[in-house]
Amino acid sequence: MRLSGHPDARFVGFVHVKVASRVYRLPVEAAPLRSDDGSTLKPGFFAEAGDRFGILVDSEAPDGVQRDTITRASADAALHISRKLLN
């Protein structure tokens, strides 16, 4: 499963986000935020074309920072999905 398209990314697991009566299963991926070409990725929730959502964490960050990123991104995902679903 390749979400961010980063060649060094690895799948970490899933987070379940409940919005209204539906539960969304968001994949979590860890990758270095800086690539060899100098571009950077932003950690947190991301939405791709259609209804593809996910969470990206910094693979070089400590576990506590990764957990905080997942917690924040889960809240961002719930807000994003609820706006899309309920509006």
Structure confidence by residue, pLDDT tens digits, 32-63: 998 778 888 899 999 887 778 899 999 999 99
Whole-structure pTM value? 0.85
The identity of residue 59, as a single letter, is S
Mean of per-residue pLDDT scores for the chain: 88
Residue 35 confidence (pLDDT): 78
Beta bridge partner(s), residue 16: 25
Interatomic CA distance for residues 30 and 59, integer angstroms: 5
Over residues 22-32, mean pLDDT? 94
- Between CA 78 and CA 12, with CA 24 as vertex, the angle to 5 degrees is 95
List the single range of 20-24, 27-31, 33-37, 56-60 with lowest mean pLDDT: 33-37
Residue 80 per-residue DSSP state = H
Annotate 30-62 with DSSP letters as a single string.
EE-SB-TTS-B---EEEE-STT-EEEEEETTS-
